[in-house]
Each structure stands twice: as structure tokens, then as C-alpha cells.
């Protein structure tokens, strides 16, 4: 854990909650959890909303308080002495409005500038989590739904990692199942020399899949051989294993092209990995009398569903659900994860609901859905094309995600070159710089366009919108960050030194040359917003909603603009303080980008 040399640990909200808790503890014998939230500026900075709830419990049983307002008064009066709180007041039926002191806000920001943004990592109640994301299927297309899962999963993993949670990033690829019989048999038939040809034999794996599926459907002899091939593969026969590995390897290379471009780290543990555990866990279900026979299949009945969860198919084979049960068991017992997060399209919600329920029945997961260890399904809406239908690139049947990513990059490169030519700066840029900026902007645009929406809503994929340099887009935000860098630069700082960020100006604070003063309303508003970073990350993690962080980032850039419009920085009397605010803003923006998987840009 990181050390914190400020009075309290955790977000501003957590620190304030502790003060409120002290007050509540001094007033009420029964434990009361503080209810604290940021509030509208006209009331204060934060509000404590406990009074009404407490009143509803004490009404008629107390003479100490005569109404909710008097409870609010008492909470306010008993708040411990602290540098954090400047004033408190009670409004309406006991709302305690709290205003932070400017001095504390400044100190909180200076602490971050000196000791790094890690100081602002939220404190979460889990230590180890699995994030199961991306998870495409071998030999089938990796489609935009998988892209959305890849982007979302990477962000959630990054936010949890920043919050000091150990994260196992898992790619649960579909690498097992009856389709491999047909693929292997087709490989043997079409490419007798496949072992010498390696990956070259198959070429386009998706076309290969289609062709073998057609043969499977049309040719009964082939179908029989394919079914036998599954048995041979599952019993571990060398030649079949080898062919299977070969096919998986081709898909893997294709998937990796996407992960490399997006700089996404993932560890593959596919469905096949959990296959050996299925028999054992199903025996446990049998012993607990949780499995029944239904139309030839073995099933677990789940309350609230008309259909049962099939765990052994009629033909005796295991399926998606039995694999996921074994996998969940493995993650809980072998890997000791406290929180297991699955990211897929929302269409799979019922599958997750059902096998989570099965795990509750057998006692792997606690009865309460909020208790740990916990399993969460993060459902995603669809990605739509401009025609309002499921998104497809071009008219071709397969979506080549790599081509999609390349197009974003090429478009952003063309825009960048045009912009630089227009303002006569193109000669200052090396090719390598153009490339890396175009990548950051292009891939960043795709990620941000996806993440800024509530994950459950469908969103329309549009290059024109996401690459617009105005509005709530990555392009706008990346450029806003670059402009702040250039402001700081103009104050004669070397950009390389600035990139080292968190310590760049800290010597000024440490030596007392620099100190943040929040006199102007727009300075204070910006300062308050900055210190709310930790609780926003906390909220985004707890509710698995990265769009909350996007909204925070966009608001931050707007507040910065307001500050910069009304407060002169360079050449003003407050130059040092204001430059520190610029730097703090740039650092927080940069951290937001990194958490969203977006590479920051330093100049435009
Ligand atoms: N392979 C699945 C698909 O493409 C997603 C797997 C998600 N993870 C899981 N443990 N079921 O839809």
C-alpha cells in the first residue's frame, strides 16, 4: 500500500465521512453509517443526509430531539475540529451543508503534486479481482461486440489496478466445443500437408470455418467423422490435439493484432482450461441433489426461470454453462478472487444470472448479491451502424477489427497533417511523432466514444463524430490537455521535464516558492473538482461505470477553460499558484486518459 502523509487516507468524501461518523458515534449508541454526498454549490460542497433517516427511527422514542432539523443541528455541532471543514450549516429537515476550507483543498492538491497521483487512489474493499473480458471465439469473427468488451474490460482493470486491487485480466476465449471436430476434420481433408504448411495452410480462418460448416451441414459422412473427431480430441489423441492447437494459434495471432494496437494486456485462459474441472464440480452438484434430469439432459433448476440451466447436454457433452460453473469455482477456490467481473453483450445476461444463481444454491457465492465474494455481469449495449442496425464494416461479411482501427488512425493522421499545415507547424514534426500522435488520437477516439456512453445503451459508431475536435470527444480532450502543457511550457519549462510530471514543480512547493491559493471563484471550483478525482474513480469501480470518469474528465476540461478565461496565468501576480493549478489539472487529465486506456498527447 502507498503511504499517505496527509491527515487522512482515501478520497475527500471518505475523509469527510469519517468526520461525520465521529459526530454520529458521539450522538447515537447504535452504529449509523454516514450518508455524505457532493451537493449543489449554492448549499455548500457536501451534504450529510442522515438526519431524516435517524428521525424516522427515533420518532416517539426520544425526548432529546424534537425534529429532523434538531438532529441535523446536533450532527453539525459535534463534527470534530478539523482543518478540512470551514463551516457547516443546517437547512430544511436536517440537511447538514458542509463547506471545505480553501486551505485544505490547496494542501490536498499540493500533496498530490509532491507525492504523485497515487495519493489519490481510492480505497476499495477488495484485494483481488478477476476481469473476464474480450473473450472472442476461435475461428469465428472477433466482432465489434468483442471490441467493446475489450475496451470496457481494459478500463475497469486499469481503474481497479490503480486502486491497489490485484487484477487477473482473463481472456475466456471460446476454444473448446463440438465445432472443433468439424474444423479438424476439414483441415485433414483439405490440407493433408497441414503439419508442414503451418499457419499458411488455412489462410483465412473465418472463411475456413464457413466452408467446414457448410460441409458439416451438407455431407452426412463428413458429419459423422467430425463427431468422431470431437471424441478423439477430447480423449487427447495427439494428432487431433495438435490440429486443434494449430487452429487456435491462427486465431490467437489475429486477436493479438487488435490487442497490440490498443495496448491491451490480457492473459488467455480459454474454455478448454476449465474442462478438466467440470466433472468434479458436477459431482458436487449431484451430491447436493441440485441436478435433475430433463428431456434427456442434466439440469439445475433456478428460481424465477421457466427453463432450467442445462449443464450436461442430451448427447452427454458439457456446454457453455458447465464450463462457466467450473471456471467460477476455479476463480473462487484456486485463485481466491473476491470479485469476479464478466464483460459481454447484455444479451448474455440470463446465462450469467442463471449460473450465478446456481453458484448461490451450492454455496460458492453468498446469498446476498452485494456480499463478497461477488460475481458481477457487466452487460453492454450494441454497437450500431449509421443505418441503426448492428454495426458491420463495409459490405463484406466479416468485420475486420484491425482495419477499423487502422482507419481511425489514418483519418486522424490526415486531420493532424492538415491542421499542422494550416498553422505552418508541419516542419517541426518528425514522422515518428506524427505516427504516435495519430495513433493516440485515433485509437483514443474509438475508446472514448464507446466509454462515454452508459455501457447498457446502444451506441452508433461514427468516425465523423468521434474524430470531431469539438464537443465531448477524445480529440477535443487530448488537445485541451496539450494546450495546458503548452501554457506551462511557455513559462519556460522544458517539455521533457514536464513529462516527468508529478515531481516537476514539486520542488517549488517543497521550497515554499509555490503555494496554491484559491481566491477566485473559478479557481476554487477547479480546485474542488480536482480533489473529487478519487471518489469518482471509486464510484466508477464500484458501479462498474467508466462513463462516470469520462463525464468527470469532460467537466474538468470545462472548468479549466472557465478558470483560464477569468484568471490570467502568465505574467500575473498569482502566476506560481496558477501554474500549479494548471499542472494539477494536466496530471489529473492525464491520469483519466490512462485509466481510460488512452495515450495522452503533449503537443498539437
Ligand atoms: N466467448 C463468449 C462470446 O463470444 C464470451 C465469453 C465471456 N466469458 C465467460 N466466462 N462466459 O460471446
What pLDDT was estimated at residue 502?
A: 44
**Do both 427 and 574 map to the same domain?**
yes
Of the CA atoms within 13 Å of residue 451, those in its CB half-sphere come to 33
The three cell numbers of residue 588 are 489529473
Q: Say if 141 falls within a structural domain.
A: no
- Ligand 1 proximity of 135 Cβ (cutoff 6 Å): yes
User: Of 568, 590, 572, nearest to 485 (Cα)?
Assistant: 590
The closest of 562, 412, 566 to 476, measured between CA atoms, is 412
Among 37, 67, 100, the domain boundary falls at: 100
Q: Which three cell numbers stand for residue 151?
A: 475496451
Answer yes or no: is the C-beta of 175 below 6 A from any ligand 1 atom: no
Retrieve residue 388's grid coordinates: 441503426
H or E element at residue 491: none
Alpha carbon of 142 to ligand 1 centroid (Å): 12
What is the β-pairing status of strands 309-312 and 339-345?
Answer: unpaired
What is the tens place of the pLDDT at every residue in 187-242? 999 988 888 776 676 778 888 999 999 999 999 999 999 999 999 998 899 999 99
Question: Pairing mode, if any, of strands 95-100 and 85-91?
Answer: antiparallel
Dihedral class, residue 448 (left if φ above 0, else alpha if ψ from -120 to 50, else beta): alpha
ipTM of the complex: 0.99
Distance 126 CA to ligand 1 centre (A): 24
- Note the maximum CA span of the chain: 91
Q: Is 324 in the pocket of ligand 1 (CB under 6 A)?
A: yes
Contact in structure between 224 and 230 (CB atoms under 8 Å): no
Any idea what the CATH number is for the domain that residue 75 is in? 3.30.1360.70
| Any atom of ligand 1 within 6 Å of the Cβ of 344 | yes
Asked if residue 568 is part of any domain, the answer here is: yes
Which ligand 1 atom minimizes the distance to the CA of 352? 11
Cα–Cα distance between 499 and 476 in angstroms, integer? 20
Is 23's pLDDT higher than 90? yes
Q: What is the pLDDT of residue 500?
A: 52
Q: Is 80 exceeded by the pLDDT of residue 4?
A: no
What digits encode the pLDDT tens for the residues 28-79?
999 999 999 999 988 999 999 999 999 999 998 888 999 999 999 999 999 9
Q: What is the pLDDT of residues 551-597, one digit of tens each?
A: 999 999 999 999 999 999 988 999 889 999 999 999 999 999 999 99
Q: Atom 5 in ligand 1: which residue has the minimum CA distance?
A: 135
Based on the domain organization, do 236 and 354 belong to the same domain? no
CA of 9 to the centre of ligand 1 (A): 38
**Considering its fold, how many domains does the chain have in total?**
4
The residue-averaged pLDDT of 431-438 equals 96
Question: Residue 159 falls within a domain, yes or no?
Answer: no
Residue 261 Cα to ligand 1 midpoint, Å, equals: 22
pTM for the structure as a whole: 0.93
Atom nearest to 140 CA in ligand 1:
4
Ligand 1 contact, 174 CB (< 6 A) = yes
For residue 345, the ligand 1 atom closest to its alpha carbon is 12
**Which atom from ligand 1 is nearest to the alpha carbon of 271?**
10
Same domain assignment for residues 82 and 196: no
pLDDT of residue 364: 98
Does residue 392 lie within any of the structural domains? Answer: no
CA distances from 531 to 103, 122, 527 (A): 13, 12, 6
Provide the percentage of residues in the chain whose pLDDT is more than 70. Answer: 93
Can you tell me which atom of ligand 1 is nearest the CA of 327? 10
Q: Which of 228, 262, 296 lies at the terminal end of a domain, its last residue? A: 262
Question: Same structural domain for residues 450 and 544?
Answer: yes
Tell me if 386 is assigned to some domain. no
C-alpha cell belonging to residue 317: 457433452
How many A from CA of 20 to the centre of ligand 1? 44
User: Which atom of ligand 1 lies at the shortest distance from residue 343's CA?
Assistant: 7
**Same-domain check for residues 350 and 238:** no
Q: Whose CA is nearest to atom 9 of ligand 1?
A: 172
Residue of 248, 309, 344, 356 best suited for mutating to test ligand 1, as the one with most atoms within 8 Å of CB: 344
Is residue 257 located within the same domain as residue 328? no
Residues 341 and 418 in one domain: no
pLDDT of 506 reads 59
Kindly report the backbone phi and psi dihedral angles of residue 60, in degrees, each rounded to the nearest multiple of 5, phi listed first: 85, -15
8: pLDDT strictly greater than 70? no
Cell of 248: 487456435
Distance in Å, CA 263 to ligand 1 centroid = 21
Q: Are residue 330 and residue 453 in the same domain, yes or no? A: no
Q: pLDDT-based confidence at 328, cuts 50/70/90?
A: very high
Burial class (CB in 10 A: 0-12, 13-18, 19+), 603: middle
Does residue 447 have a pLDDT over 80?
A: yes
User: 224 with 80, same domain?
Assistant: no
- H helices of 219-304, in order, are 220-234, 238-262, 271-287
Q: Would you call 490 exposed, middle or buried from its count of C-beta atoms within 10 A (0-12, 13-18, 19+)?
A: exposed
Same domain, 566 and 451: yes
Distance CA 76, CA 97 (A): 9
Q: Based on the domain organization, do 254 and 345 belong to the same domain?
A: no
Distance CA 49, CA 101 (A): 20
Give domain status of residue 301, yes or no: yes
| Count of beta carbons in the 10 Å neighbourhood of residue 311 | 26
Ligand 1 pocket test, pick from 133, 134, 135 with the greatest ligand atom count within 8 Å of Cβ, gives 135
What whole-number distance in Å separates Cα of residue 120 and Cα of residue 128?
20
Band the pLDDT of 81: cuts 50, 70, 90: very high
What is residue 313's three-state secondary structure?
coil
To test the pocket of ligand 1, the residue of 139, 147, 172 to mutate (highest count of ligand atoms within 8 Å of its CB) is 172
Final residue of a domain: which of 351, 371, 391?
371
Domain around 522: 401-595
Distance CA 590, CA 602 (A): 10
Q: Spell out the residues 6+ positions from residue 80 whose beta carbon is closer than 8 angstroms to its own.
A: 19, 22, 23
Cell triple for residue 10?
482515501
CA nearest ligand 1 atom 7, residue: 135
Decide which of 244 and 512 is more confident.
244
Q: What are the cell numbers at 451?
A: 466509454
Nearest CA to ligand 1 atom 6: 135
CA of 256 to the centre of ligand 1 (A): 17
> Could you tell me if the CB of 342 is within 6 A of ligand 1?
yes
CATH number at residue 516: 1.10.730.10
pLDDT for position 501: 47
User: Residue 460 falls within a domain, yes or no?
Assistant: yes
Q: Quick check: 575 and 415 in contact, CB under 8 A?
A: no
Does 289 share its domain with 246? Answer: no
141 pocket-lining for ligand 1 (C-beta < 6 Å): no
pLDDT, tens digit, 9 for 90 and up, residues 315-325: 889 999 999 99
pLDDT in tens, 345-355: 999 999 999 99
| Residue 140 in domain | no
User: Ligand 1: distance of its center to the CA of 344 in Å?
Assistant: 7
CB of 136 closer than 6 angstroms to any ligand 1 atom: yes
Classify strands 459-460 and 383-384 as parallel, antiparallel or unpaired. Answer: parallel
Amino acid at each position: 500500500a502507498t503511504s499517505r502523509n496527509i491527515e487522512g487516507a482515501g478520497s475527500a468524501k471518505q475523509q469527510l465521512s469519517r468526520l461525520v461518523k465521529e459526530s454520529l458515534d458521539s450522538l447515537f449508541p447504535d452504529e449509523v453509517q454516514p450518508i455524505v454526498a457532493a451537493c449543489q454549490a449554492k448549499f455548500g460542497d457536501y451534504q450529510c443526509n442522515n438526519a431524516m433517516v435517524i428521525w424516522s427511527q427515533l420518532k416517539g422514542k426520544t425526548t432529546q430531539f424534537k425534529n429532523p432539523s434538531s438532529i441535523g443541528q446536533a450532527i453539525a455541532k459535534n463534527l470534530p475540529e478539523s482543518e478540512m471543514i470551514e463551516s457547516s450549516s443546517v437547512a430544511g429537515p436536517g440537511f447538514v451543508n458542509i463547506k471545505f476550507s480553501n486551505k485544505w483543498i490547496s494542501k490536498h492538491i499540493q500533496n498530490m503534486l509532491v507525492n504523485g497521483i497515487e495519493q489519490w487512489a481510492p480505497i476499495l474493499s477488495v484485494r483481488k479481482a478477476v476481469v473476464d473480458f474480450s473473450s472472442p471465439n476461435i475461428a469465428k469473427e472477433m466482432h465489434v461486440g468483442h471490441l467493446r468488451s475489450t475496451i470496457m474490460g481494459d478500463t475497469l482493470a486499469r481503474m481497479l489496478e490503480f486502486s491497489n486491487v490485484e487484477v487477473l485480466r482473463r481472456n475466456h476465449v471460446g476454444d473448446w466445443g463440438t465445432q472443433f471436430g468439424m474444423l479438424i476434420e476439414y483441415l485433414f481433408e483439405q490440407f493433408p500437408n497441414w503439419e508442414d504448411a503451418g499457419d499458411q495452410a488455412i489462410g483465412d480462418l473465418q472463411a475456413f470455418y464457413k466452408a467446414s460448416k457448410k460441409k458439416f451441414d451438407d455431407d452426412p459422412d463428413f458429419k459423422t467423422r467430425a463427431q468422431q473427431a470431437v471424441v478423439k480430441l477430447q480423449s487427447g489423441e495427439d494428432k487431433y490435439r495438435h490440429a486443434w492447437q494449430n487452429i487456435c494459434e491462427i486465431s490467437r495471432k489475429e486477436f493479438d493484432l487488435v490487442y497490440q494496437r490498443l495496448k491491451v494486456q490480457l492473459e488467455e485462459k480459454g474454455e478448454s482450461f476449465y474442462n478438466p474441472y467440470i466433472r468434479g464440480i458436477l459431482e458436487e452438484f449431484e451430491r447436493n441433489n441440485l441436478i435433475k434430469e430433463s428431456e434427456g439432459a442434466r439440469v439445475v433448476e433456478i428460481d424465477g426461470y421457466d427453463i432450467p440451466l442445462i449443464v450436461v447436454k442430451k448427447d452427454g457433452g458439457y456446454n457453455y454453462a458447465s464450463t462457466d460453473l467450473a471456471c467460477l469455482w476455479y476463480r473462487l477456490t484456486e485463485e481466491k478472487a473476491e470479485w469476479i467481473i464478466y464483460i459481454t453483450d447484455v444479451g448474455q445476461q440470463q446465462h450469467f444470472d442463471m449460473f450465478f444463481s446456481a453458484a448461490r444454491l451450492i454455496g460458492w457465492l453468498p446469498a446476498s448479491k452485494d456480499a463478497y465474494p461477488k460475481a458481477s455481469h457487466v452487460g453492454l449495449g450494441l454497437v450500431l451502424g449509421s443505418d441503426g442496425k448492428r454495426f458491420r464494416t463495409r459490405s463484406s461479411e466479416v468485420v475486420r477489427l484491425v482495419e477499423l482501427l487502422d482507419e481511425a488512425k489514418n483519418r486522424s493522421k490526415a486531420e493532424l497533417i492538415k491542421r499542422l499545415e494550416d498553422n505552418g507547424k508541419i516542419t517541426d514534426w518528425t514522422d515518428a511523432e506524427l505516427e504516435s500522435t495519430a495513433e493516440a488520437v485515433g485509437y483514443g477516439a474509438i475508446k472514448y466514444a464507446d466509454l462515454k456512453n452508459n455501457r447498457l445503451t446502444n451506441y452508433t459508431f461514427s468516425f465523423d463524430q468521434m474524430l470531431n475536435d469539438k464537443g465531448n470527444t477524445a480529440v477535443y480532450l487530448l488537445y485541451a490537455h496539450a494546450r495546458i502543457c503548452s501554457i506551462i511550457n511557455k513559462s519556460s519549462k522544458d517539455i521533457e521535464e514536464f513529462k516527468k510530471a508529478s515531481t516537476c514543480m514539486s520542488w517549488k512547493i517543497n521550497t515554499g516558492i509555490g503555494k496554491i491559493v484559491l481566491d477566485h471563484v473559478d479557481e476554487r471550483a477547479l480546485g474542488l473538482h480536482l480533489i473529487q478525482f478519487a471518489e469518482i474513480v471509486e464510484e466508477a469501480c464500484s458501479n462498474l461505470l467508466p462513463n462516470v470518469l469520462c463525464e468527470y474528465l469532460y467537466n474538468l476540461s470545462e472548468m479549466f477553460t472557465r478558470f483560464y478565461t477569468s484568471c490570467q496565468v502568465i505574467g500575473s501576480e498569482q502566476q506560481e499558484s496558477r501554474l500549479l493549478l494548471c499542472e494539477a489539472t494536466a496530471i489529473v487529465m492525464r491520469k483519466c486518459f490512462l485509466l481510460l486506456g488512452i495515450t495522452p498527447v503533449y503537443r498539437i
